Amino acid sequence: MASSSKTTFVDANDLLARRAAQKRGLISFAGGLPDPALFPKRQLSQAFLSAVGADAVTALQYGWPEGSRELREQIASELAARGASVEAERIIITSGAQQAIQIATTLAGPRPRIAVEPETYPGALEIFRSARAKLVGMAEAAQLYYVMPSVSNPRGQRLSDEERLALFERARHNQGYIVEDDAYAGTRFSTGVDSPLLATHPDRVFHVGTYSKTLCPGLRIGWLVAPKRLAKRALGQKQASDLQANGLSQALLVQYLQSGHFAGLQRRARAHYRRKLRRLLAAVQRHLPQLRYTAPIGGFSLWLDCEQHLSDTRLLEAAIARGVSFDLGHRFRAAPAKTLAIRLCFSAVADADIEPGVARIAQAFAKAFSRRHSG
Amino acid sequence: MASSSKTTFVDANDLLARRAAQKRGLISFAGGLPDPALFPKRQLSQAFLSAVGADAVTALQYGWPEGSRELREQIASELAARGASVEAERIIITSGAQQAIQIATTLAGPRPRIAVEPETYPGALEIFRSARAKLVGMAEAAQLYYVMPSVSNPRGQRLSDEERLALFERARHNQGYIVEDDAYAGTRFSTGVDSPLLATHPDRVFHVGTYSKTLCPGLRIGWLVAPKRLAKRALGQKQASDLQANGLSQALLVQYLQSGHFAGLQRRARAHYRRKLRRLLAAVQRHLPQLRYTAPIGGFSLWLDCEQHLSDTRLLEAAIARGVSFDLGHRFRAAPAKTLAIRLCFSAVADADIEPGVARIAQAFAKAFSRRHSG
């Protein structure tokens, strides 16, 4: 990634992240990345060879915009196991969850009102801002309500039953749609998984999923289930965006899922990430007692904040100088705020690096916000 | 692709194409597909294993939105060989050429005026229509001028030097940008290839390319070079659309291109497609003398039209009944027209099927437009 320093057209925040990524020995709590140690390289290679061996044309030629039938059936059966009965025909394979959110946003028309949590996924905020959306709070009238009901990002929390009911009520009342971003649903630490909102209100919900968190992001395979009355427009939008999702990834994924190894991987991943979180919580309690958090029930990250007016950018600069990085809290916020917040992703940090990494952040905190440097 | 018949949310034209695709023994002149017989399956498999073996993280993890540095350098050197000197840092890897056109369109702002040829690529028309663009002729004032200067689709023609000059003059005069869709540039039958417009007017040109026609579409790898002053917004738009292009395809492609087999493949492909075109031209001269054409200099298709007011849909229905299909001409037209036009793609039709396929179209023509059925 040596190109980064020469790239002249990224913004200042990105430059900071890129500078960090290039630094040797840096401990990175940034990025929401799954742990590459979990990538099933051998099985994916076998799946690739099977896919190209069995039917190279399907893997390498143009395909239909909605995606591979086998893959859509697989996703339909995963959804059915979670209580949402959806015909495979209604699933559109997308280039990651990001594109699914983008399609739902486009269907809301020009300059839509979109309701978001105070802290939410920055990629969704980028989509909404490029669509010139008016961002409002979840209690307000909106055309779209963007939520992560099973496991939220950045906080790693779930919606309670009461919150779900209230959300449906509000969406119905305002004739709005819910965009259910289920990207992290498969990362719950306990085996229990909530039904998707899609299960109960398919006519009000754009359901968004992905294999990026549970398998690997490089495949760029997500999906969208749009409300029936918008399904045709959603498919048109998918086709206009990039014709179809990656055929090679789809064919490979079908073979991998048929191999039966996915359930075991998810089980291992659950234990793996839970262990990393425990280490992180212990380190934060020890080194960063001045910051608040709620323990997440899933996901890859811990959200830390406090009431003080302090700059996350200044903290990150001091942190990078000490060989550690994290995600800037302000990028997750729908509206500017002066209080400090940061996101620490534990998912891809080596176990042995977690405690020293947090200790470095604590040193950076002391340095950045000592009286001498403040103001 | 048996899912198609059950899919309830595709439009009538698509249904016709899908019905055709399911029919056994059908000879298909539809789709603009490269010949899968040319896909270098073994070499791509080796490239995959090298990519995952050498650096599985790069192939499978999240990457930067602009794409792989190695791949961008490779594309920069291919462009340099064609006379366009561009820094690798300015190239954005996209999910196919389609997404590159989509990004350029989005940067033109809401409801842009876009100039197009009378017949052009339907995928671009879909993008422009979803952006609620006002489509105008190439001689008019516009914010974007969409052209395929090296090899056009559907006609397979090039812009002359005079046409290029006039185009630049018009774009400059109207402070507009040119979207140079170079998707078919690598399919010229002669070894000569025009310099891209990017070479002479990088500040006025969105340059769009792809490996879909020269290698295989399933990889979904294209690229965009945006004018410098719009580069940052183009990258932001790419990131908002789907975060990044497929990491696996990029890593595989880097390995494949480094293997040195690409030049040989292009040479073989050139001879392969030229031979198919010769057969098609002979068959059309024999069976469809009532239709006009200009012999293409590259690309995958032949554009046929006539002055008569006849329905391409009626002809296609009759053709499918006789076991042959093609692309409806009206989908390539920016404005409705009553005269008949069809596109015949020869690229993926078996040599032995070309002449019988055209004969079936001629029979369908006679049947569809006999006095008894006309009116």
Of B32, B52, B239, the CB nearest to A45: B52
Q: Is there a contact between A220 and B95 if contact means CB atoms under 8 Å apart? A: yes
Lowest-confidence pick of A310-319, B121-130, B189-198: B189-198
Please report the pLDDT score of residue A193 as a whole number.
76
Mean pLDDT of chain A: 93
CB pairs under 8 A between A and B: 216
Question: CA dist A159 to A117, A148, A168, A180, A184, Å?
Answer: 11, 8, 12, 11, 13
Instruction: Give the pairing of strands A91-94 and A222-225.
Output: antiparallel
Q: Is there a contact between B232 and A11 if contact means CB atoms under 8 Å apart? A: yes
- pLDDT class of B190 with cuts at 50, 70, 90: confident
Please report the pLDDT score of residue A19 as a whole number.
72
Of A1, A218, A240, the CB nearest to B64: A1
Mean pLDDT of chain B: 93
Residues contacting residue A88 through CB under 8 Å, at least 6 positions apart:
A69, A72, A73, A75, A76, B3
pLDDT at B294 over 90: yes
User: CB-hemisphere CA count at 13 Å for A300?
Assistant: 22
pLDDT in tens, A68-103: 999 999 999 999 999 999 999 999 999 999 999 999
Residue B147 dihedral angles phi and psi, to the nearest 5°? -140, 160
Min Cα separation B285/chain A (Å): 30
Q: Is there a contact between B36 and A45 if contact means CB atoms under 8 Å apart? A: no
Of B9, B62, B251, the CB nearest to A217: B62
* A132: three-class secondary structure by DSSP: coil
Residue of B nearest to A69 (CA): B3
Please report the pLDDT score of residue A341 as a whole number.
98
User: CB-hemisphere CA count at 13 Å for B116?
Assistant: 27
Residue of A nearest to B32 (CA): A62
Chain B positions in Cβ-Cβ contact with residue A61 (cut-off 8 Å): 33-34, 36, 39, 216-218
d(CA B98, CA B324): 27
DSSP code, position A25: T
Please report the pLDDT score of residue A10 as a whole number.
57
The residue with greater pLDDT, B3 or A227, is A227
pLDDT at B271 over 80: yes
Residue A129 dihedral angles phi and psi, to the nearest 5°? -70, -40
Of A31, A56, A241, the CB nearest to B241: A241
Please report the pLDDT score of residue B24 as a whole number.
82
- ipTM for the whole predicted complex goes beyond 0.85: yes
Please report the pLDDT score of residue B371 as a whole number.
64
Chain B positions in Cβ-Cβ contact with residue A69 (cut-off 8 Å): 1-3
Residue of A nearest to B10 (CA): A232
Chain A positions in Cβ-Cβ contact with residue B210 (cut-off 8 Å): none
Please report the pLDDT score of residue B5 as a whole number.
35
pLDDT at B194 over 90: no
Cis peptide bond upstream of B154, omega within 30: yes
Strand partners, A91: A225
pLDDT at A295 over 90: yes
Q: Is residue B300 a contact partner of residue B213, using CB atoms and an 8 Å limit?
A: yes
pLDDT in tens, B144-162: 999 999 999 999 999 999 9
Residue of B nearest to A218 (CA): B60
pLDDT at B21 over 50: yes
Of B7, B66, B212, the CB nearest to A66: B7
Min Cα separation A369/chain B (Å): 31
Please report the pLDDT score of residue A58 as a whole number.
86
Min Cα separation B2/chain A (Å): 8
- pLDDT class of A4 with cuts at 50, 70, 90: very low
pLDDT at B3 over 80: no
Cβ neighbours, 10 Å, residue A200: 14
What residue type is A227 in one-letter code? P
Of A7, A72, A99, the CB nearest to B242: A99
Min Cα separation B235/chain A (Å): 8
DSSP code, position B32: -
Please report the pLDDT score of residue B372 as a whole number.
52
Residue count of chain B, please give it: 375
Chain B positions in Cβ-Cβ contact with residue A52 (cut-off 8 Å): 41, 44-45
Min Cα separation B73/chain A (Å): 10
Q: Nearest to residue A105, comparing CAs of A244, A242, A237, A239?
A: A237
Chain B positions in Cβ-Cβ contact with residue A300 (cut-off 8 Å): none
Rounded to an integer, the average pLDDT of A209-216 is 97
Q: Is there a contact between A3 and B72 if contact means CB atoms under 8 Å apart? A: yes
Chain B positions in Cβ-Cβ contact with residue A56 (cut-off 8 Å): 36, 39, 41
pLDDT at B6 over 50: no
- pLDDT class of A1 with cuts at 50, 70, 90: very low
User: What is the token pair recorded at B297?
Assistant: 């200099």
Cβ neighbours, 10 Å, residue B290: 15
Residue B115 dihedral angles phi and psi, to the nearest 5°? -90, 135
pLDDT in tens, A311-354: 999 999 999 999 999 999 999 999 999 999 999 999 999 999 99
Query: What is the percentage of chain A residues whose pLDDT exceeds 70?
Result: 95
Q: Is residue A316 a contact partner of residue A326, using CB atoms and an 8 Å limit?
A: yes
User: Max Cα separation, chain B?
Assistant: 67
Q: Is there a contact between A3 and B123 if contact means CB atoms under 8 Å apart? A: no
Please report the pLDDT score of residue A375 as a whole number.
43
Min Cα separation B115/chain A (Å): 18
Q: Is there a contact between B218 and A248 if contact means CB atoms under 8 Å apart? A: yes
Min Cα separation A57/chain B (Å): 6
pLDDT at B7 over 70: no
Chain B positions in Cβ-Cβ contact with residue A10 (cut-off 8 Å): 232, 235
Q: Where are the alpha helices (DSSP H) in chain A?
A: 12-22, 41-60, 69-81, 96-107, 122-130, 161-173, 231-242, 247-258, 262-287, 312-321, 351-368
Mutation pick from B35, B62, B146 vs chain A, by most beta carbons of A within 10 Å, is B62
Mutation pick from A45, A58, A60, A106 vs chain B, by most beta carbons of B within 10 Å, is A60
Min Cα separation B284/chain A (Å): 27
Rounded to an integer, the average pLDDT of B270-286 is 97
Chain A positions in Cβ-Cβ contact with residue B7 (cut-off 8 Å): 66, 89
d(CA A230, CA B76): 41
Q: Helix %, strand %, coil % for chain B, to 5?
A: 50, 15, 35
Please report the pLDDT score of residue A219 as a whole number.
95
Residue of A nearest to B1 (CA): A69
Chain A positions in Cβ-Cβ contact with residue B96 (cut-off 8 Å): 242-243
d(CA B269, CA B214): 8
Min Cα separation A141/chain B (Å): 24
Of B2, B99, B247, the CB nearest to A218: B247
Q: Where are the alpha helices (DSSP H) in chain B?
A: 12-22, 41-60, 69-81, 96-107, 122-130, 161-173, 231-242, 247-258, 262-287, 312-321, 351-368
Please report the pLDDT score of residue A372 as a whole number.
52
pLDDT in tens, B66-115: 999 999 999 999 999 999 999 999 999 999 999 999 999 999 988 999 99
Residue B98 dihedral angles phi and psi, to the nearest 5°? -55, -50
Q: Is residue A64 a contact partner of residue A250, using CB atoms and an 8 Å limit?
A: no
- pLDDT class of B23 with cuts at 50, 70, 90: confident
Rounded to an integer, the average pLDDT of A187-206 is 92
Query: What is the percentage of chain B residues whose pLDDT exceeds 90?
Result: 87
* A113: three-class secondary structure by DSSP: strand
Query: What is the percentage of chain B residues whose pLDDT exceeds 70?
Result: 95
pLDDT in tens, A48-68: 999 998 888 889 999 999 999
pLDDT in tens, B300-343: 999 999 999 999 999 999 999 999 999 999 999 999 999 999 99
Element (H, E) at A114: strand A113-115
Of B57, B59, B96, the CB nearest to A242: B96
Q: Is there a contact between A9 and B235 if contact means CB atoms under 8 Å apart? A: yes
Q: Is there a contact between B69 and A1 if contact means CB atoms under 8 Å apart? A: yes
Of A69, A130, A234, the CB nearest to B240: A130
Min Cα separation A165/chain B (Å): 30
User: CB-hemisphere CA count at 13 Å for A77?
Assistant: 8
Q: Is there a contact between A33 and B61 if contact means CB atoms under 8 Å apart? A: yes
User: What is the token pair recorded at B286?
Assistant: 């024999």
